[in-house]
Amino acid sequence: MAKVKAYYKNSLTGLIASATATGYDVDNLLIFTEGSLWKGSGTGTHYINFDAGTGSTVSADYVGVANHNLSGATFKLQYSAGATTGADLVTNGGFDSATTGWTASASTLASVAGGQSGNCLEVTNSGAASGSAYQDIGSLTVGETYKIVAYFKKGTGASGAIKIGTTTDDDYYGSDLGLTDAGWTAYTYYFTAIETTARITFVNESIVSAETALFDTASMYIISWTDAVSFSPSDNFPFLKEFTTQDKRFWRIQLTSLTVAPFMGLAYWGDRVEWDYPALFDPDAESNKANVNISPTGYLLAINNKYIERTLRLRFRRADDAGTLWLALRAWWEDHGLNLLFIAWEIDNHPNDIYLVYPDPKFSGKFTTANRREVSLIFKGRVAR
């Protein structure tokens, strides 16, 4: 008998898809019902990105996908801590070549001594209004994640700002306003591109003519990714893939080799939970379900919408009241409720023993002896094959 594994934990919110068909929000992947659906547009490479945020990470050791059309495509779940790769995408970010590559707005620009490294950019207001310098960086890949670092130091003006955005929304990806650092201070931004061009803007927030703000050592790199899972489904059945636990800030799904616009009903990753060896366990229990028409005399007239429903009955007879098993079972019940989840065991050796199920509304954990509980769980759904 194998340990039963539950695949349900999921801390993800705010997914970003590189290309979504109208009416199919990517956050549908997190609803945990079979009626939900994300659909991409086109057959090019698709990305679905997640950023846990500054100082935060998400731990995962599996990914589960259901209700998809990815047969023959390549599915990758990837992670990154934010390390970068490739060439710097900013032109003259050190300002050693005068101010080449930067455009002035209500300001004059100069490369002056005293930078964080070598010279720096001095933004001087042309009049009684806030001035700025900006650079548009093109040839980005929609769905890729980029890192920008820039330094600020207070000039004669009261304050400055750094904005990262698009050509039409200069702080769409992030900004720091009201900067008053007396010494050179680094500011870091990560963003997932929604357009092929991004804009870096350095702002002198003073509205006094001839006052200054200083900026230096601006850089922009694409972040590097590592595959947690690389898999080409041979069919459109749901699948689970386990991998060595990773605890990272950035995660994404990459879909390539597509022949049709992709869709997925469920796609999530997190930490699987092992529930130990159940005393009562019948993976083959099933019920025939159908809309049946019976004649007035009791004869069978018709069978409509026939399907087979699987039933998993799990009973744990000696769950310690303060032990790992009881706490894990209780956490599942409180966190997940009646939503869909995957249940499986030994998926490397028994890949067909994967079930997409929902729990019975009743959760039972009665005491049998001092500090011991008998826990009964019933799940209904279908085998994921």
Domains of the chain: which residue ranges?
A: 8-84+226-267, 85-223, 280-383
- Report helix, strand and coil shares of the chain as percent, to nearest 5: 5, 50, 45
Q: What is the mean pLDDT of residues 272-301?
A: 77
pLDDT at 341 > cutoff 70: yes
pLDDT at 77 > cutoff 90: yes
Q: What is the mean pLDDT of residues 91-108?
A: 97
Q: Report the percentage of the chain scoring pLDDT > 90.
A: 63
Are 8-84+226-267 and 85-223 in the same CATH fold?
A: yes
Least confident of 172-176, 263-267, 337-341: 337-341
CATH no., domain 85-223: 2.60.120.260
Which is more confident, 1 or 93?
93
pLDDT at 225 > cutoff 90: yes
pLDDT, residue 322, reads: 75
pLDDT tens figures, 320-335: 877 788 888 888 888 7
Q: What is the mean pLDDT of residues 245-259?
A: 97
pTM: 0.89
Cross-strand partners of 103: 134
pLDDT tens figures, 22-60: 999 999 998 888 788 999 999 999 999 999 999 999 999
Distance CA 152, CA 142 (A): 28
Residues 162, 167, 173, 176, Cα dihedral to 10°: 20
Neighbours of 16 (CB within 10 A): 19
pLDDT, residue 112, reads: 98
Residues 234, 7, 47, 19, Cα dihedral to 10°: 90
CATH architecture of structural domain 280-383? Beta Barrel (2.40)
pLDDT, residue 320, reads: 80
CATH no., domain 8-84+226-267: 2.60.120.260
pLDDT, residue 363, reads: 82
Considering the chain, what is the average pLDDT of its residues? 91
